[in-house]
């Protein structure tokens, strides 16, 4: 059970998480890469805005530098989220790599030192959908994990409410294959910040299985197994996410994780016209094993919403995210990831 996701009333009453779907009011809001619908993702501006809007957690995706530091980027390829392509000094570092079976061309964090990455500035990743965010291009540096933890603690002190951090370990098998293993460095960082306990304001995520299983043996902090509609964990070619979200698969996940982080389509599938179908039993199945259910990712633009919640035809226009979120709250989910924390807070 993830104690920090439960309401104070439930904690005082001793009601176990698996007894029934939690009421919507206790569902936590995790700011997906900060308020990334309104500021370039993973920037201090995005995190501060998310906290101002009422987010309970801020999410930093973690990748590694050549000299072994954790920096906060959605992917280790940074051509789309920084101004690295405009830096002549780094032109020769553009290369092609295969990461988790996908060939990608660009610039990669593992080919830079932390000092070099600190000279870069963030850019909006989706400028066609979020042109207003591009006004912030060039203003914000790349953050380290330590800096995000410090930001959360400063905001906790300022606001008087606990601001949690939800780090995701990105591509740990790939980084291990290039002699940049994540786990020892990550545990050391957690120990340095006092974030290894069961009640720590942290939620550790990964799409891979092995890293979470090994972390389970080393720390007591809450762990979240991420799964998507398609594919499977990069470190387990014998396993699919579809198998992991069956009742048997969820019981196996519950042996090492406290929560399962599921893509929206695993709970509310869509038909060929992108209209929502009947909900699946995943929320109830997960709760029956003691797993809490965290859903990703809620975005306001029509491009990401099911047909019935879109307004107009323009992909960048905003639809009815509030109604879409409420459909998931009615099913008893425990937390949501959103690029628009203000809307997620309002919906609950």
Phi, psi (degrees; rounded to nearest 5) at 46: -65, -40
Per the model's pLDDT, the better-predicted residue between 14 and 168 turns out to be: 168
Residue-level pLDDT at 8: 30
Distance in angstroms (rounded) separating the CA atoms of residues 42 and 161: 21
The torsion angles phi and psi of 138, rounded to 5 degrees, stand at 85, 0
Q: Answer yes or no: is pLDDT of 10 > 60.
A: no
Contact of 22 with 334, CB cutoff 8 Å: yes
What is the domain class of 3-75+141-347 according to CATH? alpha beta
The stretch 270-294 carries a mean pLDDT of 98
Task: Tell me what pLDDT residue 209 has.
Answer: 98
Average pLDDT of span 118-139: 97
Which of 265, 181, 193, 253 has the alpha carbon at shortest distance from 223?
253
pLDDT in tens, 309-318: 999 999 999 9
Q: What size, in residues, is the chain?
A: 348
The rounded distance, in Å, linking the Cα atoms of 199 and 202 is 8
For residues 172 and 77, the answer to whether their CB atoms sit within 8 Å is no
**pLDDT recorded at residue 173:** 98
* Domain boundary assignment for the chain: 3-75+141-347
Banded pLDDT at 27 (limits 50, 70, 90)? confident
β strands within the chain, DSSP E: 28-31, 57-58, 61-64, 70-72, 95-99, 102-106, 164-165, 168-169, 204-206, 223-227, 259-263, 292-298, 335-338
Minimum mean pLDDT range among 20-29, 65-74, 148-157, 337-346: 20-29
Range 58-87 average pLDDT: 98
**Of 335, 336, 332, 337, nearest in space to 19 by CA:** 332
Counting residues of the chain whose pLDDT is more than 70, the rounded percentage is 93
pLDDT at 5: 43
**Which of 340, 297, 304 has its CA nearest to residue 319?**
304
% of the chain at pLDDT higher than 90: 92
Average pLDDT, stretch 17-24? 37
DSSP result, 137-202? TTS-BPPBHHHHHHHHHHHHHHHSS--EE--EE--HHHHHHTT--SHHHHHHHHHHHT--STTSSB
Per-residue pLDDT tens digits for 239-277? 999 999 999 999 999 999 999 999 999 999 999 999 999
- CA 158, 159, 164, 166 torsion: positive or negative? negative
Instruction: Say if residues 185 and 120 touch (Cβ distance below 8 Å).
Output: no
Q: How far apart (Å, rounded) are the C-alpha atoms in residues 166 and 58?
A: 6
Burial of 118 (0-12, 13-18, 19+ CB in 10 A): middle
Per residue in 194-225, pLDDT tens?
999 999 999 999 999 999 999 999 999 999 99
State yes or no: pLDDT of 84 exceeds 60. Answer: yes
Q: Which pLDDT value is given to residue 191? A: 98
The confidence score (pLDDT) of residue 48 equals 98
């Amino acid at each position: 059970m993830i104690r920090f996701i439960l309401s104070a009333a439930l904690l005082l009453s001793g009601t176990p998480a698996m007894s029934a779907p939690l009421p919507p009011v206790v569902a936590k809001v995790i700011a997906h890469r900060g308020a990334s619908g309104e500021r370039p993702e993973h920037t201090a501006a995005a995190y501060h805005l998310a906290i101002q809007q009422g987010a309970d957690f801020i999410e930093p995706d973690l990748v590694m530098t050549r000299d072994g530091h954790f920096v906060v980027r959605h992917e280790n390829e940074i051509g789309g989220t920084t101004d690295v392509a405009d830096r002549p000094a780094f032109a020769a570092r553009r290369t092609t790599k295969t990461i988790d079976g996908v060939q990608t061309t660009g610039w990669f964090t593992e080919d830079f030192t932390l000092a070099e990455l600190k000279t870069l500035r963030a850019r909006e990743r989706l400028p066609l959908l979020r042109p207003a965010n591009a006004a912030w291009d060039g203003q914000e540096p790349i953050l380290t994990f330590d800096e995000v933890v410090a930001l959360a603690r400063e905001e906790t002190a300022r606001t008087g409410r606990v601001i949690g951090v939800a780090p995701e370990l990105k591509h740990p098998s790939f980084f291990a294959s290039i002699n940049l293993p994540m786990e020892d460095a990550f545990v050391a960082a957690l120990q340095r910040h006092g974030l290894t306990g069961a009640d720590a304001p942290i939620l550790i995520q990964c799409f891979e299985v092995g890293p979470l299983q090994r972390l389970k043996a080393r720390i007591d902090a809450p762990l979240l197994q991420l799964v998507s509609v398609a594919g499977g964990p990069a470190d387990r070619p014998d396993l699919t996410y579809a198998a992991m979200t069956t009742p048997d698969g969820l019981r196996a996940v519950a042996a090492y994780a406290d929560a399962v982080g599921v893509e929206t389509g695993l709970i509310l599938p869509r038909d060929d016209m992108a209209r929502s179908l009947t909900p699946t039993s995943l929320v109830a199945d997960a709760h029956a094993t003691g797993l809490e259910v965290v859903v990703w990712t809620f975005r306001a633009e029509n491009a990401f919403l099911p047909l019935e919640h879109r307004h107009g035809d323009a992909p960048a226009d905003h639809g009815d995210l509030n109604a879409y979120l409420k459909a998931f709250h009615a099913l008893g989910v425990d937390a949501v990831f959103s690029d628009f924390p203000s809307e997620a807070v309002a919906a609950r």
